[in-house]
Amino acid sequence: MKIIKTNGFYYLSYSFRKKGSVVNRKKYLGKKIPVNVEEIKQTFLEQCFKEELFGKLKQIKKKCAEEWKKLPESIKKERLVDFSIDFTYNTNAIEGSSLTKEDTESILKRKIAPAKPYRDIQETIHHSKVFFTVLQEKKKLTGKLLLQWHNSLFSETKPDIAGVYREYLVRVGDYRAPDWQDVPKLMRELFLLYEKNKKTMHPIELAALMHYEFEKIHPFGDGNGRVGRLIINYILYKNKYPMFAILYKKRQAYYRALGKKRLDFLQYFIRVYLSSYKEYLE
């Protein structure tokens, strides 16, 4: 994006490719550059970014739906199991699990446990169960539902924190999460935000927004990342968008994106999602 001057007037200019052609969008600023130009830039960039990429997301949704419809039921079940293995491995590995992808597959497909820590094995089993619960969930997304997911994930391995909000301060690297006394209020506000936007916001944007804001609150003593990534796939699945896993090997980019502003995280999220399904793009 750049500021240009034409015939004595200033404009914001942003170019991108759409259906093989270069598209240029301009935003009028006036005879002088406004004092709040950075705020205007942010809003304009977000509009352009959505126009640039939301069409590609629609294409992915359509092609995946067409492919899925052709599959026999037995193959659909296998695909879901395979995705649960990939998702469970990556989300747990990001949080420090010692299990490999092969270990995860052995546990979930063949019911054979490797010689690895008991906690990691149990959290793998429980995560996969919760994932399939999420797919069949009829209840709307609420704080109470997240507490149920969290309890199911950790009731065996971390019963002292399972299914309850934290009552102490936490840090994630250099980030200090909100005071624990504010967590219930922040969670209520989070789901008001969800209800306000779930019918008007693009599902991919909504999934990114909810994940980002949830991780900023960091309501649990542990397991915030895993619950937050379940939120992503809950929203995608309910809106008939293909699910995806944030990869362990690309976790540093994920951490960096979470440390930036919301729009930056949205841009990261959509680009990673598009990359995951690039074979469906023309």
CA distances from 166 to 94, 133, 224 (A): 21, 24, 11
Q: How many CA atoms lie within 13 A of 255 on its CB side?
A: 12
Q: Which of 154, 157, 178 lies closest to 167 in space, CA to CA?
A: 178
Q: Look up residue 257 and give its DSSP letter.
A: H
CA 52/CA 177 separation, integer angstroms: 33
**Angle in degrees, CA 239, 196, 61, rounded to 5:** 20
Residue indicated by tokens 């879901």? 80
Radius of gyration from C-alpha coordinates of the chain: 21
Does 150 participate in catalysis according to the annotation?
A: no
Q: State the number of CA atoms in the 13 A half-sphere of 180 facing the CB.
A: 10
| Burial per residue of 200-221, b for 16 or more beta-carbon CB atoms within 10 angstroms, e otherwise | ebbbbbbbbbbbbbbbbbbbbb
Quickly list H helices, 95-174. Answer: 101-110, 118-136, 143-154
Q: Name the active-site residue from 127, 150, 202, 218.
A: 218
**CA–CA gap between residue 96 and residue 264 (Å, rounded):** 25
If you search the block for the tokens 């609420």, which residue do you land on?
142
Q: Which of 98, 138, 126 is nearest to 114 (CA)?
A: 98
Catalytic residues, by residue number, are: 218
